[in-house]
Amino acid sequence: MDRWLICGVLSFILIFQAFSMEAKAEEVTWTELNDLSDTVFQLTRQDRYEEAVRVLGFFEKQFQVLEEKGEVPSDQARQINVNYRLAIDALSNEEIPTADKARAATQFRLLLDSVYSRYEPLWLSFEETVFHSLEKMKSEIEKGEDTRFRKTWNEFLSLYGTIYPSMNVSVSAAAIKEVDKHIEAIELSEFTEMTMSTQLEQMTVLEEDLIDVFENKKDDSDPSLFWVMLTTGSTIILSLIYVGFRKYRAETNRKKEKVKKPEK
């Protein structure tokens, strides 16, 4: 009887451990997915494309777990799947130039970070490069260097395209739509026929819209954190005021009692 009981207990333990291991295998977090995207990025920088593709394959399986659990908003899932496929295609194709492979890996890395790092995404670090490019183009317009302007413009479009998916995750659609509208206007052939002042005006409007995008994102803070800080700070201040008031009142009463006390 005891032997059967022991066997039953051992069987229960083994089954419980198997279920626990299976559940643990299905536990996927955004932190892990973000780390995997960084691994892909680092391997691509080292020209280790086959390894990067293998990591992307593992990423796909892990990401599917979150999708099946319904933990990924449909728009984010669609954007991640599109950029995942772009990264796979670029890194697994030997004919794709190295620069395009790096761009695809960077784009994928920035997108995952934008989903994971809600308040301080990595794409914000491109701010200086973006605005340096805009200033350079305005200088080329003033000097009448059309060929150089177009070259710099194409470089800007490549940079903007790299951060575009991650911007879509963390910036309002209306703000991005304004930027896109001015980019389309500059892309038109009519832009080259405009006067220098009109061209500079168009570039300035684009610059202002991009400033709004970067600044609004940097100012985006967690409202719950703000209220915690506010209520905590208020509590501390009120406590200090109350303690100070009690101390002041006690000191005042002590002086009054000393005055009233008759001299011996």
Domain coordinates of the chain in residue numbers? 23-116, 119-218, 222-249
Q: What is the pLDDT of residue 3?
A: 53
The token pair that represents 13 in the structure block = 């333990």
Note the pLDDT of residue 227. 35
Task: Report pLDDT for 258.
Answer: 53
What does the alpha-carbon distance between residue 12 and residue 241 come to, in Å, rounded to a whole number? 61
Q: Look at the chain and count its residues.
A: 264
Q: Measuring CA to CA, which residue among 13, 8, 101 is closest to residue 56?
A: 101
Whether the full predicted model's pTM is greater than 0.75, yes or no, is no
Task: Kindly give, in sequence order, each residue whose CB lies less than 8 Å from that of residue 103, ignoring residues fewer than 6 positions away.
Answer: 90, 158, 162
In order along its 264 residues, the chain shows pLDDT tens digits of: 455 444 444 444 433 343 333 434 456 799 999 999 999 999 999 999 999 999 999 999 999 998 888 888 888 999 999 999 999 999 999 999 999 999 999 999 999 999 988 778 999 999 999 999 999 999 999 999 999 999 999 999 999 999 999 999 889 899 999 999 999 999 998 998 999 999 999 999 999 999 999 988 766 544 443 333 333 344 434 444 444 545 545 555 555 555 555 544
What does the pLDDT read at residue 224?
Answer: 40
Helix ranges (H only) for 93-222 are: 98-116, 127-142, 146-170, 173-187, 196-218
CA–chain centroid gap for 104, Å, is 17
Q: What per-residue confidence (pLDDT) applies to 124?
A: 94
DSSP string over 16-41: HHHHHHHHHHT---HHHHHHHHHHHH
Sign of the C-alpha dihedral, residues 113, 114, 117, 122?
A: positive
